[in-house]
Amino acid sequence: MIVWRWIRAFLRFWVDFLIGDDWTVAAAIALALLGTWGLVQASVPAWWLLPLVVIAGTALSLRRTAAKERG
């Protein structure tokens, strides 16, 4: 029982750490990492993709949060 509680707490910790309260940003980052890998494999400059996705993903997430707050 205690072990099960520890496992659940451990999993909850990593979910909070990685995903937090908006899973879409984490998902966008994961996809951007995949896209970056693809561009590198195709010998295309890829440094721009991750910053672009992080900034755009943050803006969209903030838009949703602001809308949600207004109810």
Partner 1 sequence: MNWGVFVSSFLAATIEVIEMVAIVVAVGVTRSWRASLTGAGGALVVLAVLIVVFGTALQGVPLKPIRLVVGALLLAFGSQWLRKGIFRVARDGWALGIGEEEVEEGVASGFDWPGFVLSFKGVSLEGVEVAVIVVAFGAAAGAIGSATAGAAASVIVVGAAGLTSYRVVARVPRRGLQLFVGAMLTTFGTFWASEGLSVHWPGDELALVWLGALYAAAALGLVRLVSGWRRQEEALLGGASR
Contacting residues toward partner 1, per CB under 8 A = 13, 16-22, 25-26, 29, 33, 36-37, 40, 45-47, 50-51, 54-55, 57-59, 61-63, 65-66, 70
**What three-state secondary structure class fits 8?**
helix
Cβ proximity to partner 1, 8 vs 58, nearer residue:
58
d(CA 56, CA 31): 13
Q: How far is the CB of 67 from partner 1 (least distance, A)?
A: 8
DSSP string, 8-26: HHHHHHHHHHHTTT-HHHH
Q: How far is the CB of 16 from partner 1 (least distance, A)?
A: 7
